[in-house]
Amino acid sequence: MALTDDTLTITKGRHELLAEIQPFWYALHDHHVAVAPFKGEPRTQAESWQRRRAEYEGWLAEPRAFFLVARVQGQPAGYAFVRFEERHSATWQAAPEEVELETLAVLPAFRGSGVGTALVDRVRAEALQQGITTLSLIVIASNEGAINFYQAQGFQAHEILMKQHLELSMPTVDRFLGLWEFQPDEARYDLGAPPRAGSYEIIAEGEKLTFVMKWVDQAGESHEMAYSEQCDGQIHPIQAPTADQMSLTLKSDTVLESVAFKDGATVMTASRELLDEATLEVIMGGPLPDGSQYRNRSIYKRSGS
């Protein structure tokens, strides 16, 4: 259809046009999802419109911001939303204010008919009436159709926004697992005497970690103790002579921490830190009867290292 002044009308307005915009935004939402799948899981149309409507209402607080709604033979065909932006550059003596074409959307049935061009022409005219000679917009890099359209309208790339998506790796307990050999010469104990020898084994069993400690005391007696706990940062009940609850938390790839409680009070902490791939530092601590705190530091080497 050839557009003429008789077939195409453009209405300028503000809040009163918001109710007409929703179907246009739904169409634009679907187009964005189709051309930019790399941007992640899309919101639903309804949620997307709820957010965009709130943004429009915020932008309309600036009294010069406005909508343009295009109609072809009385049927809504597309819209533009325009707002005014102050620009300040430390480097260039640029125009202090620009008109930003925040949204341009045309329903699929009217794309290629000239509706988009007519809306852009009207935006230019509105900008010049305000004495503003710079018109700007942002377009998704993969939206080739829109880029070609805007280039045909005389827009040129001035700045490029670049992004890099980083992979967030979750810490795992894998580096702690295995058998560790006690290093008596490097032990520093506030409470009691360090063992003459010993080992510390950490085993993953389903959702739990099992700690197996074996040691030979200064009198030559052998001892062994083992317990299991979920490594989820939550406090769980346990059955032990000196504690009734415990938490086990993987703070990072190199720090594994547990806290034991009795009647709600902390009675013991254990911080296990990998100083390197072959060295494990274990610091045990807790309150003493006189109110002070003890700190026992043990160093273990990975067995076979």
- Mean pLDDT score, 105-113: 93
Provide the pLDDT confidence category of residue 89 given band limits of 50, 70 and 90.
confident
Q: For residues 245 and 250, what is the distance between their CA atoms, to the nearest angstrom?
A: 17
Annotated domain spans of the chain: 8-152, 174-302
The two domains 8-152 and 174-302 share their CATH topology (first three levels equal): no
| Position 110 pLDDT exceeds 70 | yes
Provide the pLDDT confidence category of residue 4 given band limits of 50, 70 and 90.
low
Give the per-residue pLDDT at 277.
95
- Mean pLDDT score, 169-184: 90
Average pLDDT of the residues of the chain:
92
**Which token pair is 152?**
């045909």
CB atoms within 10 A of CB 215: 19
Q: Give yes or no for a contact between 302 and 180, defined as CB atoms under 8 angstroms apart.
A: yes
* Burial status of residue 138 (CB atoms within 10 A of its CB: 0-12, 13-18, 19 or more): exposed
Give the per-residue pLDDT at 70.
96
Query: With respect to CATH, is domain 174-302 assigned 2.40.128.20?
Result: yes
**Which token pair is 86?**
């102050």
| pLDDT digits 0-9 by tens, 199-227 | 999 999 888 999 999 999 999 999 999 99
E-only strand ranges, 121-186: 135-136, 178-182
| Position 170 pLDDT exceeds 70 | no
| pLDDT digits 0-9 by tens, 7-62 | 899 999 999 999 899 999 999 999 999 999 988 899 999 999 999 999 999 999 99
| Residue 67: half-sphere exposure toward Cβ, Cα within 13 Å | 22
Calculate the alpha carbon distances from 214 to 202, 224, 255 in Å: 12, 4, 22
| Position 131 pLDDT exceeds 60 | yes
The class (CATH top level) of 8-152 is alpha beta
Nearest Cα residue to 272 out of 288, 243, 250: 250
Q: For residues 155 and 147, what is the distance between their CA atoms, to the nearest angstrom?
A: 9
| Position 275 pLDDT exceeds 70 | yes
- Mean pLDDT score, 240-244: 90
Q: For residues 62 and 295, what is the distance between their CA atoms, to the nearest angstrom?
A: 62
Nearest Cα residue to 78 out of 67, 86, 87, 89: 67
| Position 90 pLDDT exceeds 90 | no
Q: Give yes or no for a contact between 107 and 51, defined as CB atoms under 8 angstroms apart.
A: no
Pairing status of strand 66-72 against strand 279-287: unpaired
Q: For residues 303 and 45, what is the distance between their CA atoms, to the nearest angstrom?
A: 57
* Burial status of residue 272 (CB atoms within 10 A of its CB: 0-12, 13-18, 19 or more): buried
Provide the pLDDT confidence category of residue 240 given band limits of 50, 70 and 90.
confident
Give the per-residue pLDDT at 258.
96
Sequence-ordered list of residues with C-beta below 8 angstroms from that of 90, at least 6 positions apart, any chain: none
The more confidently predicted of residues 5 and 191 is 191
